[in-house]
Amino acid sequence: MVGESREQAQPSIARYGLTISADEARDGTRKVLARKGKKLEVRIPAGVVTGRLVRLSNALQLTDGQPGDILIKVSVKQESEATDQVLEVTDGTFESEVLESNLPVVVDFWAPWCGPCRMIAPVTEKLAREYAGRLKFCKVNVDQNPLAAQKFQAMSIPLVLFFKEGEVVDQSVGAVPESQLRSKVQALLG
């Protein structure tokens, strides 16, 4: 029909923001996005930087029953001062940094592939910031430091050991609540 214009419906775009850690940005990650009772897995590629847009093409068809994309703007959480409070310890530095420390020491045995380890890391970073100067917080990558992991029997991770005067006085295994770690930290100071 000449002279008649037909309006074409534009697909909708739903916009979201997603904040990921620097490690997740470096290595890539998968996140779950919930929308209207439906869950979508979002793959964030390795090497992503703040401001990067990830498009889920025609995802609104799955969640809303209509054509459209979901557009996710990625923000990378910058390394905070808390990370500086948690010292990375190796097989070579474990004795001097932990066993010979003048302060009580909390040591987190972890691995980059361990989900529960990533859950507990922000808690240890927060506690490290709060107890700076009174306690020392360290972390040991069990994949890169097999001697320390073997010596302290880090068979299940995350394993958090509490040292006083070079001796293990308490431990915590698994992704435990902040309140549980906090009470163990306070007992270590007592």
Q: Is 79 left (phi over 0), alpha (psi -120 to 50) or beta?
A: beta
Say if residue 43 is in the same domain as residue 111: no
Q: What is the pLDDT along the chain (190 residues), one digit of tens a residue?
A: 333 334 445 668 888 888 888 778 888 888 888 788 888 888 888 888 888 888 888 888 888 889 999 888 888 876 543 346 899 999 999 998 999 999 999 999 999 999 999 999 999 999 999 998 899 999 999 999 999 999 999 989 999 999 999 999 999 999 999 999 999 999 998 8
CATH of the domain at 153: 3.40.30.10
Say if residue 104 is in the same domain as residue 66: no
Let me know: does 59 contact 40? Beta carbons within 8 Å. Answer: yes
Domain that holds residue 177: 81-189
Q: Are strands 86-88 and 136-141 parallel, antiparallel or unpaired?
A: parallel
Task: State the residue for tokens 């070579």.
Answer: 92
Predicted confidence at residue 127, as pLDDT, reads 94
pTM listed for this prediction: 0.57
User: What whole-number distance in Å separates Cα of residue 185 and Cα of residue 189?
Assistant: 7
Residue 5 lies inside a defined structural domain of this protein: no
Predicted confidence at residue 18, as pLDDT, reads 80
The pair of three-digit structure tokens given for residue 4, joined into one six-digit string: 């008649």
**Residues assigned a catalytic role:** 114, 117
The pair of three-digit structure tokens given for residue 31, joined into one six-digit string: 């996140």
Say if residue 43 is in the same domain as residue 93: no
